[in-house]
Structure 1
Amino acid sequence: MPVPVAPHRWPLLGHTPSMLRQRAKFTDALHEHGDVVRLDLGPLHAHFVTSPSLTHEVLVSQGSKFRKGAMFDKFQPYLGTGLLLSNGEYHLRQRRMMQPAFHRERIEAYASTMARAAAALAARWRPGEVRVIEDDMQELAVTIVGETLFSTEIGKRAVEEVRRSIFTVIQQGMIRALSPSFVEKLPLPGNREFDAAIARMKAVVLQVIESWRADGTDNGDVLSMLLLAQEDGVGMTNQQTYDEVLTLLTAGIETTAIALAWALYEVGNDPEVERRLHAEVDSVVGDRPVTFADVASLTYTSQIVQETLRKYPIWFVMRRTLTEVQLGDVSLPAGAEVIVSPHALHHDERYFPSPERFWPDRWTPEFTAGLPRGAFIPFGGGNRQCLGNTFAQTEIVITLATIAAKWRLVPTRPARVKFTSAPYPNGLLMKAVPRN
């Protein structure tokens, strides 16, 4: 069947101006035009999938027929062939070797680092002080991911370099991905900053890797697990390990920091949500540090996390067909670009009534069981589902509980959003008020 074309198409430029001007408002409404809708991104034709069932086919049931799409191709020269960008058998091999680093017993060990880092951050706050919450959460995410990756003395120097460089890599990397290829060769300040940050991080991470190979001790950190991992007697090279470390840093810092900042804002903006969060934390945790064992009992806290991941997910991801693929009534040839939007799915009122409302109570077991497959995909799906999803959710729950035990955070102005690849908080100013 012919694929309906999205409205507001410009000559030559296609739908790109409409997407850049309206962002998620534009893509969230595409389901009104069909389960698969054609988008023209300049000269590139893409197929935007709007239904949960077809999304599940792209990510899971027919996932082997797809590889990463056009946007990811732009990242590969800078981020290498880590899990985020690799494809095929190589991707599956790397994923199998990395999985032990994220098994339950490892995350249980990482949880103490999460709780300690969150408590240290909150201990620096002063009564009545106004904090820029997204900055605090970025700093916290860097500390947690850095310390769980590198636990040795030389690893601490790597954490400091990550703190210095990672946001330049993330921000300028996104600009490069969305710009024509010739732009990255221009002598622009952003290009120089990006190249210098990549060079510094690569040097220090490779130094940590070489130091570990000389010692060979399992230090209980993620790097040790990566370097100990083997398949058919063959482990990762230094370059492969570096690519995976950089992937974990970029994927594990920014998205978690965004979710934490929005969760704290939503809690502070709703007295009833705040009251119930504090009551649960007081009952489950009390005055002691939060532990991994507490996470299962912090049910309302976990509902807050789920609702945050629903309301503030990434905008879209792209896939490319490896062979002819049938999606519902639409036949796609090999090489077709396909777009899946977590934001559009999570804001579809057919599955999430009152989608703009922050409502943790929607996450009952009955509601979750009734969601169609593919409707809620904060971490993707199939063999490309984010390997660190349990790590991230554990980190957010522990951080929320640690802060809620001591502080109320009161917004001093309405939220401002900077929408790029996701709805980023932009100056979430919140006053720190002691609970006791």
Structure 2
Amino acid sequence: MSVPVAPGRLPLLGHTVSMLRRRQLFTALLRKHGDVVRIDLGTMPTYFVTNPLLVHELLVGKGSSVRKGALFDRFRPIFGNGLATSDGEFHRRQRRMVQPAFHRLRVSRYADTMARVAAEWTADWRPGQVRVVEEDAQALAVTVVGEALFSTELGKRAVEEIRRSLFTVLKQGIVRAVSPSFVEKLPLPANRAFDDAIARMRAIVLEVVRGWREDGVDRGDLLSVLMTARDPDTGAGMSDDQVYDEVMTLLVGGVETTALALAWALHELARNPEVERRVHAEVDEVLAGRTPTFADIGDLVYLRQVVNEVLRMYPVWFLMRRTLEPVELGDAVLPEGAEVIFSPHALHHDPASFDDPHRFDPDRWSPERAARIPKGAFVPFGAGARQCVGNLFAQTEIAIAVATVAARWRLVPVPGEPVRVKFTSAAYPSGMLMTAVPRN
């Protein structure tokens, strides 16, 4: 069967809310053209999968027949060959070694760090103080993942450097990934800032790695898991460069997703008074003034629904795969070497899967309603063998941070200061100004 060709080209970047509307219209148009739609990105033909069941089939059922696509080829030289960008047997080997770092028992220990950092963050707030919420969320996420990674005195220096440099790396790295290759060679201030930030982070992380090898002490942090990990088939560990690449992967993945979700969660609580009231009531009942723990997450049922709804509303825009052999998806047969696109944002806002999809509705995650959501319709962390290894870590951190804020504070939007939205791989809030108001 031939795959239909949709008119137009897929936009990669946007910078305004109007661009978001155009993207929504574009993906809605693709749905009308079929479950698998061929589109052209410049001279590169690609296949856009719009049906959630076929996305699930692509990621899970046909997972061994695909690997990361062209976008990740561009990210690899920038962010290294860690779990997010590696492929094939190397990826399987690395995942087996990294997976224990995010075992439920270890995440429960990291939760203590999350709660302490969140408590320290909100302890500095003052009644009536205006907070720049996206900056607060970024600072908290960097500190949590940095302290979970490094527990030594030298590691503390690494955390400071990560706070200083990571967002330059994130911002400019995404720009490089979607720009022609010659752009990174131009003598531009942004290029110099990026190169300097990468050099500083690489130097301090490798210094910590070498220090760990000299001491050889398992301190229970993420770095210790990476350093002591062994391939069960060969008994080999990771080289220093491999450890560095996985550290970069954990930093990028652990900061960006969590910071975005936390900022948007606080934004949605402020915009939805009834949701905020229910979160406050649940936090008061479960915590009763205590610092939240990992064990409390299971009892914060409505808060978990809020986190799911935030992850549904504000996911990455699109992801790519490349076929290793002809792949049958529904009535379409994709040729070997085909670039395949699916959009978590489009899937999460598809009215066929979610009633009134642009409304913030945590109750759609109640057990009876969630059971009706099709497979593949909710993929904030991907699915299958390539699902984000740190998904439990991220969800726990978001819930603990929101619970910590909700226990003592309300955040109220500053009148006349609408939130601006910038787009790269996802919707980034800019200028999310909110006033801290004590609950009592």
TM bin, normalised by shorter chain, reads over 0.9
SS in 2 for 1:370: coil
**TM-fit CA distance, 1:379:** 0.2
Letter in 1 for 2:419: A
SS in 1 for 2:195: helix
C-alpha distance after superposition, 1:219-267 (max 9, x if no partner): 1100000101101321101000000000100111011100000000100
- 1:17 and 1:291 map into 2 onto residues whose CA distance is 40
**TM-fit CA distance, 1:319:** 0.6
- 1:139 and 1:419 map into 2 onto residues whose CA distance is 20
Contact 2:54–2:329 (CA under 8 A) maintained in structure 1: yes
SS in 2 for 1:23: helix
Residues 27 and 294 (structure 1), Cα distance of their counterparts in 2 relative to 1, 3 Å cut: same
Q: What residue is the counterpart of 1:131 in the other structure?
A: 131
**TM-fit CA distance, 1:174:** 0.5
**TM-fit CA distance, 1:23:** 3.1
TM-score between the two structures when normalised by the length of structure 1: 0.97
Contact 2:13–2:423 (CA under 8 A) maintained in structure 1: no
- 2:80 and 2:295 map into 1 onto residues whose CA distance is 36
Q: Does 1:213 align with 2:217?
A: no
Q: What residue is the counterpart of 2:117 in the other structure?
A: 117
Letter in 1 for 2:370: T
Q: Does 1:431 align with 2:435?
A: yes
Q: What residue is the counterpart of 1:405 in the other structure?
A: 407
Contact 1:68–1:320 (CA under 8 A) maintained in structure 2: yes
Contact 1:24–1:315 (CA under 8 A) maintained in structure 2: no
Contact 1:15–1:42 (CA under 8 A) maintained in structure 2: no
CA RMSD in angstroms, aligned pairs only: 1.3
- 1:18 and 1:195 map into 2 onto residues whose CA distance is 23
Contact 2:10–2:39 (CA under 8 A) maintained in structure 1: yes
Q: What residue is the counterpart of 2:317 in the other structure?
A: 315
Q: What residue is the counterpart of 2:368 in the other structure?
A: 366
Q: How does 1:29-428 map to 2 (within 5 A)?
A: 29-231=29-231, 232-412=234-414, 413-428=417-432
Contact 1:263–1:304 (CA under 8 A) maintained in structure 2: yes
Contact 1:202–1:242 (CA under 8 A) maintained in structure 2: yes
**TM-fit CA distance, 1:17:** 8.1
Letter in 1 for 2:238: M
C-alpha distance after superposition, 1:140-187 (max 9, x if no partner): 000000000001110000000000110111110100111011111111
Contact 1:309–1:378 (CA under 8 A) maintained in structure 2: yes
C-alpha distance after superposition, 1:65-123 (max 9, x if no partner): 11111111111112121000000111011000011110011001100100010111111
SS in 2 for 1:313: coil
C-alpha distance after superposition, 1:272-307 (max 9, x if no partner): 111110000000001111111100000011010000
Contact 2:14–2:424 (CA under 8 A) maintained in structure 1: no
Q: Which moved more, 1:356-365 or 1:17-26?
A: 17-26
**TM-fit CA distance, 1:270:** 1.1
Contact 2:127–2:436 (CA under 8 A) maintained in structure 1: yes
Residues 382 and 17 (structure 1), Cα distance of their counterparts in 2 relative to 1, 3 Å cut: closer
Letter in 2 for 1:359: D
- 1:154 and 1:28 map into 2 onto residues whose CA distance is 51
**TM-fit CA distance, 1:32:** 1.6
Contact 1:18–1:26 (CA under 8 A) maintained in structure 2: no
- 2:26 and 2:386 map into 1 onto residues whose CA distance is 26
- 1:354 and 1:371 map into 2 onto residues whose CA distance is 13
- 2:101 and 2:79 map into 1 onto residues whose CA distance is 20
**TM-fit CA distance, 1:414:** 3.7
Contact 1:111–1:291 (CA under 8 A) maintained in structure 2: yes
- 2:127 and 2:72 map into 1 onto residues whose CA distance is 44
- 1:17 and 1:156 map into 2 onto residues whose CA distance is 37
Q: Which ranges of structure 1 fall in alignment gaps of 5 or more residues?
A: none
Letter in 1 for 2:6: A
**TM-fit CA distance, 1:15:** 4.0
Q: Which ranges of structure 2 fall in alignment gaps of 5 or more residues?
A: none
Report how many aligned residue pairs link the two structures: 431
C-alpha distance after superposition, 1:313-365 (max 9, x if no partner): 00000111111111111111111000011000000011111111001111111
- 1:126 and 1:414 map into 2 onto residues whose CA distance is 22
Identity of aligned residues (%): 63
SS in 2 for 1:405: helix
Residues 170 and 24 (structure 1), Cα distance of their counterparts in 2 relative to 1, 3 Å cut: farther
**TM-fit CA distance, 1:269:** 1.1
